[in-house]
């Protein structure tokens, strides 16, 4: 706006000059030269006569043509900027022949090409405006000929090249504007010679280098805009000489260093925009000398320290914008003196403390954005003083307490999500009659909403997900003007109210992860505007209502994880706009309807874990042929076709090749037969194929090798023949290959080991023969190799040591001969080694036992001779397993036991019998306890016995109202459920210390010890699966850096796990959620946490068999004991790697910000995915920043921000400013750890180290401290 006002002033001055300064008009007619030139110019524009019709009226004098002004016989002005339509022609060459022209305006004409040289010879021209065209070329030095030029406007063209220093000779210039071109290089110092300049716009180009110090000569400058260039270096102190400046915009550059204190000289400055630079240091007090300032934008910089208290002097300030600026400390109360403030945006900083009460006086405020800070305390009631406020965003802070009644008549948007607010939601919130958008998700609100929002008549978006709200969904919600209703992840029960179906406006209904029951109401079809319906993970039963087919605007339908039965109604396929359809994990039966062909826009289909039968219809790929527009909020991954774990039979249809956009194909766990159709190789976007657990026959088609697959699982079929010879050379992107449990024969192609990205290879349970040949160029990324139960023979080659990342090697039950190669000992990452039942011979090479981290070895059933060498006996793994070495092979004679052995066996048998007897007595005691608790069980959990086992997902057996308790630690044997219920006062909310996985965590203090009790959510369909998964993994795990599972309890539908209590809570809490805690975590403590966590995760990946993938590594899942020793927790998402299954289910596990990029495509969990997540945790330790929220950089995530900083040589600035006082030695170590984090977060999984390698790298970094 200031620029436009100035340009108007310049034009006004020029008009006066044209009217009074030029010499008087000639009285003897028009010069023949100008007449002919105008007519010739008209002729050159004849093809665009409609744009300038007056030029072609025969009776009109040329001086009266549109845009022409004459001074008697001389043309002084040509202005074609106001034509009805653009000329869209090359720049008219004849323009340069009007030697006396003073005013030339050809803006907005869509002219092309370059300037003719003659234009630069128009020595009398005073104003030249060719903005908003398509002109190209460079500005020549002859531009200096325009000695009288006062206004030069070249905006929005494609001029390029360096800026000519000759412009500095145009000493009369008042305005220079080259916005939106392609100029590059340094800004010439000579520009500072333009001492009369009042407006300078260099914005949106590619200028680089520093601002010239000669700019201090612009003492008359009013407007200066150099935004969106590549300027670097500090802001010059000479900027303080520009004392008349009204507007200064240097945003979106790479300026560094602190703000110069001379900025305080700009007393008349009204607008200052420095956003998205690299300005550092404290915000100087001098900035508060800018008393005329109305607009201040300091966003996206790396300031340190607090917002100065003297900011209260800026009493004219309307806009204070400083998100993600590195600000710390508290919001200064003096900000309340800025009575004219309309917008405050201080989001994405580290501001702490409560909202100062002095802000209550900001009566003109209209928008407050303070999200993603560390603000604490309650939401103050004085906010009701902000009568003009329209938007309040306080999400992602630490605000606590209840939500006060707010009387804000103009407020249209309130976002308090991701805080620690609690209590019931007040109905007074509807006093804000204009409230349309209410976001309260991810808090601890409780109670019902029976009448809460009934008077919110303007409400369009209601988001209450991830709270503890309960009761029934109120019927009045259907009477509101809601567009979005998001109630997921609460404890709502009952049925969907019929009145909700009366809504005329709803576009999204999300009720997932509650305890809703009954049938899905058929009346839902009345909501004709509905586009997204998400009812997954509830207790809905009955059939899918036929009426859903009337929802013609529906694009996303998810009914996953309910108890739905019957066949899929054909009417559902009348929802022809469907993009995503998820009916997985129900009890649906019948064939997959051929009517699916009507869904032409479908790109995500999940029908897994049902009881579908029949064949896969040929019409299945009528959709999957068009890539949808991005809708990341509702479609997390497109291109998925998942029909796994049903009862489908027949052959895979050849029409599968029409599923063009399918990226993941999962048909595992059916009864499919026949050969793999070669047509599958015609799917260009396919990255993951799982056809395991079927009855497929025939050979592996060579056509498969032409695909760019990352995952291929053909295990547990009847596939025969040889593995194609070119398998490895063609499938260069493969990460996981599972061909186990088939009928494959012939040799294993050596080229498989040349796949650089391969981490998992299972070819066990086949009839493969020949030698295991690993070439010199073999992959070093392979973690898992299982070739057991084959017919491999020959010697084990030394080149096996090239597989340097190998963690598991299983070759048992083959016919491999010769001696064990000494090079095996170089496999430093090896944790599991099974070479049993082969024909190895000669003496045993004990250097294998020196491998650090080797947790399991088996060499039995071979032909080793002699005893274990004495030199091996110092190695624990060999001492534990030395009995398997002594003269044990397939054709050996029985070993005669010694008297000591017989005595040991006898004592062992006695001990086992005693344990069984104790167990029976304990079981009897538990049953008596169960009878006592059974009488009050309804008061505790309200659980009832299911009518049949079929009521529960995964066919959970009947659970009588009795108690089963088990412990993994002897000291807990006397704990019973009554003790835990008493210690938590029947799981009172006052004992809650956190949430994780499928339940809530409580603190339980018993005599002599404190425990953490995780109560799994009763009634959730997947709760039992979660419980069993944790028992199968955590119950066996014992490591100093893992949270130990001490026991568990089950009664009725109630299940809870007993953990060791961690006194210092989670790492996430100490890094961001506690203002005083941040300083307590100095670098040595953070490094100890980093190394210990790495050791714990490495044990899961490499030291425990079967290996465990965590799948949800994040800072909130790393707990700290009293000594700040880290313990990795929450294995609720863990899945054991087996020889035949490592896939994620249809729901992608993990937490946003930590999920590796490949998960969205392959949906395949790997250890390298955990490594990526752990790399994000390392970055959190180094930076103190959250994994998301880095605005405008690589999608807003911490990894992208780190890469952006490192690419610009700003590694040191990545480090947490709270660690800035660390010694140089610690800084060296921190940068070393940053390099490790960069490796862990590589986009390509095969480039990431294993966790064992991470531990070793961190140990190496430790030597720097």
Distance of alpha carbon 413 from alpha carbon 397, whole angstroms: 17
Determine the pLDDT at residue 804: 84
Give residue 173's pLDDT: 97
| Residues 458 and 480 sit within 8 Å (Cβ to Cβ) | no
Q: Using one digit for the tens of pLDDT, what is the confidence trace for 448-489?
A: 999 999 999 999 999 999 999 999 999 999 999 999 999 999
- 528 near 552, Cβ under 8 Å? yes
CA-to-CA distance for 799 and 779, rounded, in angstroms? 11
Mean pLDDT, residues 567-572 taken together: 95
| Residue 1203 confidence (pLDDT) | 85
Residues 961-989 have pLDDT tens digits of 334 444 444 344 345 677 777 788 777 77
Mean pLDDT of the chain: 81
User: Nearest CA to 1202 among 1169, 1234, 1233, 1249?
Assistant: 1234
Looking at domain 1067-1262, its CATH superfamily turns out to be: Transferase(Phosphotransferase) domain 1 (1.10.510.10)
Q: Considering all CA atoms of the chain, what is the largest pairwise distance in Å, rounded to the nearest integer?
A: 140
Q: Is the pLDDT of residue 620 over 80?
A: yes
What's the average model confidence in pLDDT over 1046-1061? 73
Structure-block tokens of residue 607: 């029908």
What pLDDT is attached to residue 930?
41
Q: Which of 1040, 962, 1052, 1041 is nearest to 1015 (CA)?
A: 1052
Given the DSSP bridges, would you call strands 999-1006 and 992-996 parallel, antiparallel or unpaired?
A: antiparallel
Q: What integer pLDDT is reported at residue 906 of this predicted model? A: 40
What is the distance between the alpha carbons of residues 182 and 443, in angstroms, rounded to a whole number? Answer: 49
Q: How far is CA 1240 from the centre of its chain?
A: 16
Poorest-pLDDT segment among 49-53, 748-752, 954-958: 954-958
Q: What is the pLDDT of residue 831?
A: 82
Do strands 1135-1136 and 1108-1109 pair parallel, antiparallel, or not at all (unpaired)?
antiparallel
Per-residue model confidence (pLDDT) at position 947: 28
Residues 490-534 pLDDT 10s: 999 999 999 999 999 999 999 999 999 999 999 999 999 999 999
Whether 260 has a pLDDT exceeding 50, the answer reads yes
Q: Degrees (nearest 5) of the Cα angle 1078, 1082, 1085?
A: 110
Selected catalytic residue, list 415, 1112, 1170, 1216:
1112
- Phi, psi of 762, deg, nearest 5: -125, 110
pLDDT digits (tens, 9 = 90+) for 56-93: 887 778 888 888 898 887 899 999 886 567 888 899 98
Residue 764 in this model has a pLDDT that exceeds 50: yes
Determine the average pLDDT of the residues in 557-584: 94
- The stretch 602-610 carries a mean pLDDT of 93
- State CA 146 to chain mean position distance: 55
Tokens of 717: 């079929």
Check residue 1050 and give its pLDDT: 64
Give the per-residue pLDDT at 799.
81
pLDDT at residue 813 in the model? 95
Can you tell me the mean pLDDT for 140-145? 93
Residues 175-228: tens digit of each pLDDT = 999 999 999 999 999 999 999 999 999 999 999 999 999 999 999 999 999 999
112-126, 255-269, 745-759, 1119-1133: which has the minimum mean pLDDT? 1119-1133
Structure-model confidence comparison of residues 1141 and 745, the more confident one: 745
Average pLDDT (122-140) is 93
pLDDT of residue 975: 59
Residues 91 and 157: their CA atoms lie apart, in Å, by: 13
Domain covering 260-377 assigned CATH 3.80.10.10 in the classification: yes
1021 vs 1264: which has the higher pLDDT: 1264
**Residue-level pLDDT at 1135:** 39
Whether 1112 is a known active-site residue: answer yes
> Of 192-196, 921-925, 1142-1146, which range is least confident?
1142-1146
- The reported pLDDT for the residue numbered 793 is 93
Position 958 scores a pLDDT of: 30
pLDDT at residue 1105, rounded to an integer: 56
**DSSP 8-state class, residue 252:** S
> What's the confidence (pLDDT) of residue 1103?
67
User: Which architecture characterizes domain 1-256 according to CATH?
Assistant: Alpha-Beta Horseshoe (3.80)
Is 550 annotated in a binding site? The answer is no
For residues 1047 and 967, the answer to whether their CB atoms sit within 8 Å is yes
Q: Among 482-496, 540-554, 583-597, 767-781, which stretch is predicted with the lowest mean pLDDT? A: 767-781
Q: What is the pLDDT of residue 648?
A: 96
- Segment among 101-105, 360-364, 1159-1163, 1171-1175 with least mean pLDDT: 1159-1163
From the candidate CATH numbers 3.40.50.2300, 3.40.640.10, 3.10.580.10, 3.30.200.20, the one assigned to the domain spanning 917-1060: 3.30.200.20
| Residues whose CB falls within 8 Å of the CB of residue 1243, separated by 6 or more in sequence, listed in order | 1157, 1158
Query: What per-residue confidence (pLDDT) applies to 1220?
Result: 58
Quick one: pLDDT at residue 1041?
86
**Cα–Cα distance, 150 to 146 (Å, whole number):** 9
pLDDT at 752: 87
Same fold, 917-1060 and 1067-1262: no
* Predicted confidence (pLDDT) per residue in 284-302, tens digit: 999 999 999 999 999 999 9
What is the pLDDT at residue 1040? 82
Domain boundaries, the chain: 1-256, 260-377, 834-893, 917-1060, 1067-1262
Could you please report the per-residue DSSP string of 1083-1097?
A: HHHHHHHHHHHHHHH
Mean per-residue pLDDT, 793-811: 87
Q: 458-462, 671-675, 929-933: which range is least confident on average?
A: 929-933
Identify the pLDDT of residue 23: 32
pLDDT digits (tens, 9 = 90+) for 996-1038: 555 788 888 887 788 888 876 644 434 454 455 556 555 666 7
Residues 6+ apart with CB under 8 A from 308: 282, 283, 284, 285, 287, 288, 332
Is the peptide bond preceding residue 996 cis, with omega within 30 degrees of 0? no
Asked whether 582 and 560 are in contact (CB, 8 A), the reply is yes
Q: If pLDDT is split at 50, 70 and 90, which confidence band does 948 have?
A: very low
């Amino acid at each position: 706006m200031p620029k436009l006002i100035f340009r108007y002033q310049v034009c006004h001055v020029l008009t006066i000059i044209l009217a009074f300064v030029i010499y008087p008009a000639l009285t003897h007619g028009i010069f023949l030269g100008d007449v002919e030139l105008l007519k010739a110019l008209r002729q050159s524009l004849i093809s665009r006569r409609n744009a300038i019709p007056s030029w072609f009226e025969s009776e009109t004098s040329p001086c009266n043509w549109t845009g022409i002004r004459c001074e008697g016989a001389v043309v002084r002005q040509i202005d074609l900027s106001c034509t009805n339509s653009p000329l869209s022609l090359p720049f008219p060459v004849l323009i340069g022949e009007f030697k006396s022209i003073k005013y030339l305006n050809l803006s907005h004409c869509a002219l092309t090409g370059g300037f003719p040289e003659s234009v630069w010879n128009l020595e009398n021209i005073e104003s030249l405006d060719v903005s908003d065209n398509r002109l190209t070329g460079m500005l020549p030095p002859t531009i200096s000929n325009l000695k009288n030029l006062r206004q030069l406007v070249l905006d929005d063209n494609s001029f390029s090249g360096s800026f000519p220093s000759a412009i500095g000779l145009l000493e009369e210039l008042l305005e220079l504007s080259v916005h939106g071109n392609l100029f590059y290089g340094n800004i010439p110092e000579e520009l500072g010679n333009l001492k009369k300049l009042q407006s300078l716009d260099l914005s949106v180009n590619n200028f680089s280098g520093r601002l010239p110090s000669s700019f201090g000569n612009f003492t008359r400058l009013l407007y200066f805009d150099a935004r969106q260039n590549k300027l670097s270096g500090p802001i010059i102190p000479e900027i303080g000489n520009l004392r008349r400046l009204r507007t200064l915009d240097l945003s979106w550059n790479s300026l560094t260093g602190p703000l110069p204190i001379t900025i305080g000289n700009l007393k008349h400055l009204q607008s200052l925009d420095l956003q998205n630079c690299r300005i550092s240091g404290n915000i100087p007090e001098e900035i508060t000398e800018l008393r005329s300032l109305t607009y201040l934008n300091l966003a996206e910089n790396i300031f340190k320290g607090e917002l100065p208290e003297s900011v209260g002097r800026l009493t004219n300030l309307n806009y204070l914008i400083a998100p993600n600026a590195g600000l710390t400390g508290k919001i200064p109360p003096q900000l309340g003196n800025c009575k004219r403030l309309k917008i405050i945006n201080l989001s994405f900083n580290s501001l702490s403390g409560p909202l100062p009460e002095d802000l209550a006086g900001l009566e003109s405020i209209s928008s407050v954005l303070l999200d993603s800070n560390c603000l604490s305390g309650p939401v103050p009631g004085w906010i009701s003083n902000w009568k003009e406020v329209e938007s309040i965003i306080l999400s992602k802070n630490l605000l606590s307490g209840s939500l006060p009644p707010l009387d804000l008549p103009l407020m249209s948007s309130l976002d308090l999500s991701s805080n620690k607010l609690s209590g019931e939601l007040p109905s007074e919130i509807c006093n804000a009659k204009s409230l349309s958008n209410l976001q309260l998700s991810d808090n601890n609100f409780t109670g019902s909403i029976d009448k809460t929002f009934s008077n919110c008549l303007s409400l369009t978006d209601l988001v209450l997900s991830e709270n503890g709200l309960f009761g029934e969904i109120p019927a009045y919600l259907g009477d509101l003007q809601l567009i979005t209703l998001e109630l997921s992840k609460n404890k709502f029960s009952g049925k969907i109210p019929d009145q909700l179906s009366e809504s005329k406006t709803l576009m999204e209904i999300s009720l997932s992860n509650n305890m809703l029951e009954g049938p899905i109401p058929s009346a839902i079809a009345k909501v004709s505007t509905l586009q997204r319906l998400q009812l997954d993970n509830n207790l809905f039963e009955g059939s899918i209502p036929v009426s859903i087919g009337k929802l013609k605007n529906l694009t996303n339908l998810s009914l996953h994880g309910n108890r739905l039965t019957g066949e899929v109604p054909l009417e559902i396929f009348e929802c022809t706009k469907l993009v995503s359809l998820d009916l997985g994990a129900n009890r649906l039966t019948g064939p997959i309807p051929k009517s699916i062909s009507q869904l032409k826009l479908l790109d995500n289909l999940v029908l897994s874990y049902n009881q579908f039968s029949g064949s896969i219809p040929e019409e299945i790929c009528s959709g999957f042929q068009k890539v949808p527009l991005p809708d990341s909020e509702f479609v997390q991954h497109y291109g998925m076709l998942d029909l796994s774990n049903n009862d489908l039979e027949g052959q895979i249809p050849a029409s599968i090749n029409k599923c063009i956009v399918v990226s993941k194909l999962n048909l595992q766990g059916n009864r499919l037969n026949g050969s793999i159709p070669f047509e599958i190789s015609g799917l260009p976007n396919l990255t993951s194929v799982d056809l395991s657990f079927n009855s497929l026959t025939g050979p592996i088609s060579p056509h498969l090798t032409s695909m760019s697959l990352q995952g291929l699982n053909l295990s547990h079929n009847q596939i025969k023949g040889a593995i194609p010879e070119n398998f490895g050379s063609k499938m260069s992107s493969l990460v996981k290959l599972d061909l186990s449990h088939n009928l494959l024969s012939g040799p294993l192609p050596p080229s498989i080991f040349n796949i650089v990205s391969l981490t998992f290879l299972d070819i066990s349970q086949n009839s493969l023969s020949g030698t295991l040949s690993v070439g010199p160029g073999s992959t070093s990324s392979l973690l898992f190799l299982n070739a057991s139960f084959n017919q491999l023979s020959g010697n084990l080659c030394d080149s096996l040591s090239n597989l340097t990342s190998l963690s598991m090697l299983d070759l048992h039950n083959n016919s491999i001969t010769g001696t064990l190669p000494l090079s095996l000992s170089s496999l430093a990452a090896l944790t599991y080694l099974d070479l049993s039942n082969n024909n190895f011979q000669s003496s045993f090479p004990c250097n294998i036992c020196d491998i650090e981290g080797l947790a399991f070895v088996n060499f039995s059933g071979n032909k080793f001779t002699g005893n274990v060498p004495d030199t091996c006996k110092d190695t624990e793994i060999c001492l534990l397993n030395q009995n398997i070495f002594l003269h044990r092979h397939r054709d050996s004679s029985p070993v005669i036991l010694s008297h000591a052995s017989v005595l040991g066996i006898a004592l062992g048998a006695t001990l086992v019998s005693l344990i069984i007897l104790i167990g029976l007595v304990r079981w009897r005691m538990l049953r008596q306890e169960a009878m006592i608790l059974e009488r009050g069980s309804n008061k505790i959990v309200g659980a009832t016995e299911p009518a049949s086992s079929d009521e529960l997902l995964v066919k959970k057996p009947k659970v009588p109202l009795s108690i089963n308790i088990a412990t993994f630690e002897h000291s807990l044997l006397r704990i019973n459920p009554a003790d835990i219920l008493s210690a938590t006062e029947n799981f009172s909310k006052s004992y809650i210390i956190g949430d994780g996985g499928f339940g809530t965590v409580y603190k339980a203090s018993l005599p002599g010890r404190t425990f953490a009790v995780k109560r799994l959510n009763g009634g959730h369909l997947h709760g039992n699966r979660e419980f069993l998964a944790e028992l199968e993994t955590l119950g066996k795990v014992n490591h100093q850096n893992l949270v130990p599972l001490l026991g568990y309890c089950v009664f009725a539908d109630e299940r809870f796990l007993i953990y060791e209590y961690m006194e210092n809570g989670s790492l996430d809490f100490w890094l961001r959620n506690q203002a005083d805690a941040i300083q307590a975590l100095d670098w040595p403590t953070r490094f100890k946490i980093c190394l210990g966590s790495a050791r714990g995760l490495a044990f899961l990946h490499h030291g425990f068999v079967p290996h465990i993938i965590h799948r949800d590594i994040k800072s909130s899942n790393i707990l700290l004991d009293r000594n700040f020793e880290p313990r990795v927790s929450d294995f609720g998402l863990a899945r054991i790697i087996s020889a035949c299954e490592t896939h994620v289910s249809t729901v992608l596990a993990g937490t946003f910000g930590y999920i590796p990029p490949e998960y969205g495509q392959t949906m395949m969990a790997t250890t390298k995915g955990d490594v990526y997540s752990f790399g994000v945790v390392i970055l959190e330790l180094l930076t103190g920043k959250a994994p998301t929220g880095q605005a405008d950089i690589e999608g807003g995530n911490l990894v992208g921000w780190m890469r952006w900083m490192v690419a610009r040589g700003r590694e040191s600035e990545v480090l947490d400013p709270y660690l800035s006082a660390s010694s140089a030695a610690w800084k060296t170590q921190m940068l070393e750890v940053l390099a490790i984090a960069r490796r862990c977060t590589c986009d390509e999984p095969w480039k990431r180290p294993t966790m064992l390698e991470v531990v070793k790298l961190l140990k190496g970094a430790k030597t720097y401290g």
